[in-house]
C-alpha cells in the first residue's frame, strides 16, 4: 500500500483506508505501537493489556516454582552435586534461583555458576536502565536528579 504524507496542523499524517483498518481490527482511538526498523516503520496493535501480560508472567513463574525447590544451604557452592540450579529471570531485576533436576535444560551445575548468571542478568538490567536514561535525556529531559544507578 502507498500512502501520501499530509500536513495536519503542525504535525504530519498518513491516511489509512477503512478496509485496511477493518482487516487489522483497528478503530479510531485505538493505541498502536510504532517501531523504527532497518526497513522502515512497523505499526502494531497491542492486543494485550498490561494486566494480562503481568498475569501471564506470574503464571509462568508459579509454574516454574511448582516444579522446583528453594535453594538449600550447601557446604561447597563450587561442587557439582546430583542437582542443578535454575535461574528464573522473568524479571531480570529479580532473578530467582531454584533447585531442579540436573537434566533440566538451562540448569547450572554449581550454585556459584547460577549465582554468577543471576548477577550478570542484574548487571545487564542496570546497563539497559542507564541506556534508557540516556534516551530520556535525548528527548529533552536534561536533568534527572531523582534516578540514580
Confidence bin at 57 (pLDDT 50/70/90): confident
Q: Is the pLDDT of residue 49 over 90?
A: no
Strands 40-45, 32-37: pairing kind: antiparallel
Residue 147 lies in a domain: no
- On whether both 68 and 130 belong to a single domain, the answer is yes
- Reading the block at residue 84, the C-alpha cell is 542443578
- On whether both 77 and 101 belong to a single domain, the answer is yes
- On whether both 55 and 116 belong to a single domain, the answer is yes
Confidence bin at 83 (pLDDT 50/70/90): very high
- On whether both 58 and 121 belong to a single domain, the answer is yes
pLDDT at 91 (0 to 100): 86
Q: How many residues does the chain have?
A: 149
Residue 148 lies in a domain: no
- On whether both 111 and 85 belong to a single domain, the answer is yes
Q: Is the pLDDT of residue 64 over 60?
A: yes
Domain count of the fold of the chain: 2
pLDDT in tens, 94-145: 999 999 999 999 999 999 999 999 999 999 999 999 888 877 766 655 555 5
What is the reported pTM? 0.57
- On whether both 23 and 80 belong to a single domain, the answer is no
pLDDT in tens, 14-37: 888 888 778 777 888 888 888 888
Residue 99 lies in a domain: yes
- On whether both 81 and 106 belong to a single domain, the answer is yes
Q: State the residue range of the domain holding 123.
A: 50-138
How many angstroms separate the CA atoms of 95 and 88, rounded? Answer: 6
Q: What is the mean pLDDT of residues 53-71?
A: 89
pLDDT at 2 (0 to 100): 77
Q: What distance lies between CA 64 and its chain's CA centroid?
A: 18
Which residue matches cell numbers 533440566? 104
- On whether both 33 and 63 belong to a single domain, the answer is no
- On whether both 40 and 111 belong to a single domain, the answer is no
Q: Strand runs (DSSP E) across 1-149, as ranges? A: 5-8, 11-14, 32-37, 40-45, 69-70, 83-88, 96-101
Residue 37 lies in a domain: yes
The CATH number linked to 31 is: 2.10.260
- On whether both 132 and 95 belong to a single domain, the answer is yes
- On whether both 108 and 66 belong to a single domain, the answer is yes
- On whether both 127 and 97 belong to a single domain, the answer is yes
Amino acid at each position: 500500500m502507498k500512502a501520501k504524507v499530509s500536513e495536519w496542523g503542525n504535525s504530519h499524517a498518513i491516511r489509512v483506508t477503512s478496509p485496511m483498518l477493518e482487516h487489522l481490527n483497528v478503530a479510531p482511538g485505538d493505541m498502536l505501537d510504532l517501531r523504527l526498523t532497518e526497513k522502515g516503520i512497523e505499526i502494531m496493535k497491542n492486543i494485550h493489556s498490561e494486566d494480562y501480560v503481568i498475569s501471564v508472567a506470574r503464571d509462568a513463574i508459579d509454574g516454574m516454582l511448582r516444579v522446583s525447590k528453594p535453594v538449600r544451604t550447601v557446604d561447597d557452592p563450587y561442587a557439582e552435586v546430583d542437582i542443578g540450579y535454575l535461574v528464573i529471570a522473568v524479571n531480570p531485576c529479580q532473578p530467582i534461583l531454584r533447585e531442579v533436576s540436573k537434566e533440566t535444560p538451562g540448569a547450572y551445575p554449581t550454585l556459584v555458576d547460577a549465582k554468577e548468571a543471576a548477577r550478570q542478568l542484574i548487571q545487564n538490567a542496570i546497563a539497559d536502565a542507564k541506556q534508557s536514561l540516556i534516551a530520556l535525556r535525548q528527548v529533552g529531559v536534561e536533568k534527572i536528579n531523582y534516578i540514580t544507578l
